[in-house]
């Protein structure tokens, strides 16, 4: 593998979603291996004190690197936590023998560039039959379970916990200050959440039981609610997205990386199908709401990622920036 090839692979890996778009990763390419380290400088001590969500983000990046390698005609293998003495060394992706590229490989790799977090309302249309089974079949061998939040009891309990967590967050000055540090008004910003990716939190245009994270809570001026448009018009339909929960039996770095890998697969599979997704991780953010989620949904193990999934109502592409590859990748000569 030469520098140009690794640069292309890392460009794909860094399109991975990450909590607050912190991009908490560094890569080193040495011959046929790519080492992925967590970058502590980009930590979120208030929201993510254990680093769980950043490690999940790095797991997605490792998966995207492997997908890009396979689509380039190279076998790929991911080893998790390869060096026990360095806790930040999260994964090694190894480039193997040449392989024939299948149409599925090519489709997944192509989806990397199109995938983005879509917080706007979804269309009232069910996800394709068989998709969730495929997602489960991909996640199972990684030790990750996928639960669709169905049935009114589960939906009400989960939506309540998301709202409760969102409320807790909005009332924490430390949380809001940290969030504000990662909010970006410059559309050319290379990291953080661009305000353009956050829809107006207006129940007239986004009627849903599922609150997306309010990234602009700290700068929002309290407003009186004025319904938009013709008051005689029928109210817009309440969004009913498919909501899926990914979880693991354990709750350590290996589990978080595996959850990230499964999440990466899920996001690309959904994108290939024309679906959009957005995480709703407020409830699993906090120990109290996370514990209640485990008991209210009778989960075996730990919730790692909650996502809404559905057909997008707007045609949009990625809007969040990424740091240039040269900033996150260095090359070392193979010994």
Ligand X SMILES: Cc1cc2nc3c(=O)[nH]c(=O)nc-3n(C[C@H](O)[C@H](O)[C@H](O)COP(=O)(O)O)c2cc1C
Which of these ranges, 14-22, 82-90, 164-172, 327-335, lies near ligand X under the rule CB under 6 A?
A: 14-22
| Burial of 235: CB neighbours in 10 Å, binned 0-12, 13-18, 19+ | exposed
Answer yes or no whether residue 318 interacts with ligand X by CB under 6 A: yes
The binder of ligand X chosen from 92, 117, 242, 269 (CB under 6 A): 117
| By CB under 6 A, residue 193 contacts ligand X | yes
Q: What is the closest distance, in whole angstroms, from the C-beta atom of residue 279 to ligand X in the complex?
A: 4
Q: Is 279 in the site for ligand X (CB under 6 A)?
A: yes
Name the segment binding ligand X (CB under 6 A); options: 25-33, 115-123, 139-147, 218-226. Answer: 115-123
Which residue's entry shows tokens 């559309």? 187
Indicate left, alpha or beta for 70 from its phi (over 0: left) and psi (-120 to 50: alpha): alpha
Which of positions 28-57 make contact with ligand X (CB under 6 A)?
Answer: 53, 56-57
Q: Does 280 bind ligand X (CB under 6 A)?
A: yes
* Contact call for residue 158 and ligand X (CB under 6 A): no
Q: Is 212 in the site for ligand X (CB under 6 A)?
A: yes
| Of the candidate residues 239, 282, 283, 303, the single one contacting ligand X (CB under 6 A) | 282
Interaction of residue 213 with ligand X, rule CB under 6 A: yes
**How many beta carbons lie within 10 A of that of residue 317, not counting itself?**
8
Query: Which of 9, 17, 44, 302 is close enough to bind ligand X by CB under 6 A?
Result: 17
Collapsing DSSP to helix, strand or coil, 95 comes out as strand
Q: How far is CA 89 from the centre of its chain?
A: 20
Question: Quick one: which of 19, 72, 108, 142 contacts ligand X (CB under 6 A)?
Answer: 19
Stretch that binds ligand X, among 13-21, 74-82, 98-106, 137-145 (CB under 6 A): 13-21
**Minimum CB separation from ligand X for residue 283, in Å?**
9
Residue 265 engages ligand X in binding (rule: CB under 6 A)? no
CA angle (66 as vertex; 64, 70 as ends), nearest 5: 115
What one-character-per-residue DSSP string does 28-76 give? EEETTEEEEEE-GGG--TTT-TT-HHHHHHHHHHHHHHHHHHHHTTEEE
Does 278 engage in binding with ligand X (CB under 6 A)? yes
CA dist., res. 241 & res. 127, Å (int): 9
- 320 binds ligand X, rule: CB under 6 A: yes
Please check whether residue 285 is in contact with residue 294, taking contact to mean a CB–CB distance below 8 angstroms.
Answer: no
Euclidean distance between CA atoms 91 and 80, whole angstroms: 4
What are the tokens at 333? 């000569």
Gap between the Cα atoms of 220 and 232, Å rounded: 29
Going through the chain in order, the beta strands assigned E by DSSP cover 25-30, 33-38, 74-80, 89-98, 144-148, 183-184, 193-194, 242-248, 276-279, 302-310, 329-332
With CB under 6 A as the contact rule, the residue among 1, 9, 12, 18 that binds ligand X is 18
Q: Does 248 bind ligand X (CB under 6 A)?
A: no
CB 15, min distance to ligand X, A? 7
Residues that bind ligand X (CB under 6 A): 17-21, 53, 56-57, 116-117, 119, 193, 212-213, 278-282, 318, 320
């Amino acid at each position: 593998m030469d520098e140009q090839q690794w640069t292309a692979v890392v460009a794909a890996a860094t399109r991975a979603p990450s909590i607050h778009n912190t991009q908490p990763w560094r890569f080193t390419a040495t011959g046929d291996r790519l080492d992925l380290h967590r970058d502590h400088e980009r930590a979120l001590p208030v929201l993510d004190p254990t680093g769980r969500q950043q490690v999940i983000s790095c797991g997605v990046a490792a998966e995207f690197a492997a997908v890009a390698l396979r689509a380039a005609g190279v076998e790929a293998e991911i080893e998790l936590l390869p060096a026990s003495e360095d806790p930040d060394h999260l994964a090694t992706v190894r480039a193997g023998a040449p392989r024939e590229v299948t149409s599925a490989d090519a489709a997944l790799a192509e989806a990397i560039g199109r995938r983005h977090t879509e917080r706007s309302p979804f269309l009232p249309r069910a996800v394709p039959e068989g998709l969730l089974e495929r997602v489960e079949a991909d996640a199972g061998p990684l030790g990750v379970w996928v639960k669709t939040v169905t049935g009114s009891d589960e939906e009400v309990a989960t939506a309540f916990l998301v709202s409760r967590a969102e409320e807790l967050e909005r009332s924490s000055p430390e949380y809001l200050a940290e969030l504000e540090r990662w909010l970006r008004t410059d559309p050319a910003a290379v990291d953080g959440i661009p305000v353009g990716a956050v829809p107006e939190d207006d129940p007239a245009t986004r009627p849903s039981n599922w609150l997306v994270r309010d990234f602009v809570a700290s700068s929002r001026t309290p407003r009186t609610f004025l319904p938009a448009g013709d008051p005689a018009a029928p109210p817009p339909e309440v969004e009913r997205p498919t909501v899926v929960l990914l979880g693991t039996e354990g709750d350590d770095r290996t589990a978080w990386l595996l959850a990230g890998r499964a999440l990466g697969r899920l996001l690309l599979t959904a994108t290939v199908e024309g679906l959009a997704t957005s995480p709703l991780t407020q409830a699993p953010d906090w120990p109290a709401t996370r514990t209640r989620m485990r008991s209210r949904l009778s989960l075996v193990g730990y919730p790692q990622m909650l996502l809404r999934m559905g057909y997008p109502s707007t045609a949009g592409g990625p809007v969040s920036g990424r740091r240039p590859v040269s900033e996150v990748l260095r090359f070392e000569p193979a010994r």
